[in-house]
């Protein structure tokens, strides 16, 4: 008689609010969708399409950075306040962003008086937001992020400057390598494809469901057979 297949991974009872984070193009929204479906969780997605300044920001960052940042701050704060309301139909919440990410972008995009004003508003809001039970940071290379951005084909992202993504990537790494507010799982996803390869997805889920370290856990998966090869440096 063949052995029974192992039981599918289950979330621990203390994991009620899980956040998937990463730079633009890291796959955080895709993974959040997959996890919410797997665990029948409430899905909370960043409302970036409702920000009227975002397309203009990509065309002229210096002109529209402050308006774009404040619009995101207000939108994310409204979502965070809604999370505090009791949900009778879902016990687990999975989100594709953390409130803290707003500050990462602000320090890349703003400076001077605009950054100081932003900081004043952020410090008023942040203490009243929820702290995740676990953050999963999908770390990748700038080259792979640019590949993913090009593949998804959003019109306002087609002229995305690789230098901007590289700056965001550096800022994210700097922030999360020093993050201490909640348990953090850093997964190097540069050489895997959890969309095309079910084994990659199952390994990520196993790591998420079994991570118990109260601080930071690092995980580098075995390279996927379906992931595209890393681009050459001269590929742009």
Distance of CA 10 to the CA centre of its chain: 22
Q: Assign 227 a pLDDT band (cuts: 50, 70, 90).
A: low
Q: What is the pLDDT of residue 49?
A: 81
Question: Which domains, and CATH codes, for the chain?
Answer: 17-222 (3.40.50.300)
Closest by CA to 26, choosing from 169, 161, 162, is 169
Cα 99-185-24 angle, rounded to 5 deg: 50
Give 50-80 pLDDT, tens digit per residue: 899 999 999 999 999 999 999 999 999 999 9
Q: Assign 84 a pLDDT band (cuts: 50, 70, 90).
A: confident
Q: What is the pLDDT of residue 1?
A: 54
pTM of the model: 0.88
Q: What is the pLDDT of residue 158?
A: 76
Q: What is the pLDDT of residue 226?
A: 57
Q: What is the pLDDT of residue 154?
A: 77
SS3 of the chain: helix, strand, coil, percent, to 5: 50, 10, 40
Quote the mean pLDDT of the chain.
Answer: 89
Q: What is the pLDDT of residue 229?
A: 47
Give 119-176 pLDDT, tens digit per residue: 999 999 999 999 999 999 999 999 999 999 988 877 777 778 999 999 999 999 999 9
Q: What is the pLDDT of residue 231?
A: 42
Q: Token digits for 57?
A: 């920001």
Task: Note the helical H segments in 134-179.
Answer: 142-152, 162-176
Across the range 171-193, mean pLDDT stands at: 95
Give 4-56 pLDDT, tens digit per residue: 556 667 888 899 999 999 999 999 999 999 999 999 999 999 988 889 999 99
């Amino acid at each position: 008689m063949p052995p029974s297949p192992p039981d599918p991974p289950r979330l621990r009872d203390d994991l009620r609010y899980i956040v998937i984070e990463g730079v633009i193009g890291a796959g955080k929204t895709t993974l959040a969708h997959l996890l919410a479906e797997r665990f029948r969780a409430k899905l909370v997605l960043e409302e970036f399409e409702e920000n009227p300044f975002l397309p203009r920001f990509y065309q002229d960052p210096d002109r529209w950075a402050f308006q774009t940042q404040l619009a995101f701050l207000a939108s994310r704060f409204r979502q965070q306040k809604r999370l505090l309301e009791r949900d009778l139909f879902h016990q687990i919440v999975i989100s594709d962003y953390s409130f803290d990410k707003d500050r990462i972008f602000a320090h890349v995009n703003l400076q001077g008086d605009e950054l100081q004003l932003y900081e004043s508003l952020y410090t008023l809001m942040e203490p009243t937001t929820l702290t995740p039970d676990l953050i999963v940071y999908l770390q990748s290379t700038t080259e792979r992020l640019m590949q993913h951005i090009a593949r998804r084909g959003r019109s306002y992202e087609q002229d995305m400057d690789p230098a901007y993504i590289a700056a965001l990537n550096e800022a994210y790494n700097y922030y999360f390598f020093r993050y201490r507010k909640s348990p953090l799982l850093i997964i190097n996803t540069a050489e895997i494809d959890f969309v095309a390869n079910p084994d990659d997805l199952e390994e990520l889920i196993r790591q998420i469901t079994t991570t118990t370290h109260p601080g930071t856990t690092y995980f580098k998966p075995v390279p996927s057979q379906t992931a595209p090869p890393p681009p050459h440096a001269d590929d742009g």
